[in-house]
A and B are shown apart, each in its own frame.
Chain A
């Protein structure tokens, strides 16, 4: 596809359950980012991948959150033992990162997670 895609678009789960959110980046983009956006706020950084490895995971709030990108393309954000405070829109972005040059990040439509 032409843009970043995310599935599912909506996810409703119960407190304590495990969820997986998927991101398909723009073809050829080497860098992939996860952000979280709460109502009325700007996106908040969670984790960044360059290729298959997590280059910066400083934004993950705690060890219930984990993300993988095993083949350097699709990424999955995994949340264990979900809490009501995890409810937010989870945004994925990708960029064609080339050395130190600044590259724009292009965002997907997001996954709206609701924890009941």
Chain B
């Protein structure tokens, strides 16, 4: 069974601070995909990044960066120089491997509420 754990329920930082959101996953698949989403108060899930299990390179996109470590089954997300507009709930998710007729369903963590104070 797949599982995603986001141990941090709520994080509060002051604007311009860096913040890291933790994500630990469990899967028996050798091929899988990891995701991060942002969910602002409006409710719509905003896709941020998808990473496959064969690509352990860290990625940076503007103020966002992701650290994927297969050895520790972690896929952490860092926001540098946080801004008030970054305030949202952030979800980490895991997708099962591709197979014939695969559903590729997403298993989500419980989310981390990030509040950035001015």
A and B interact physically: no
A contact residues vs B (CB 8 Å cutoff): none
B contact residues vs A (CB 8 Å cutoff): none
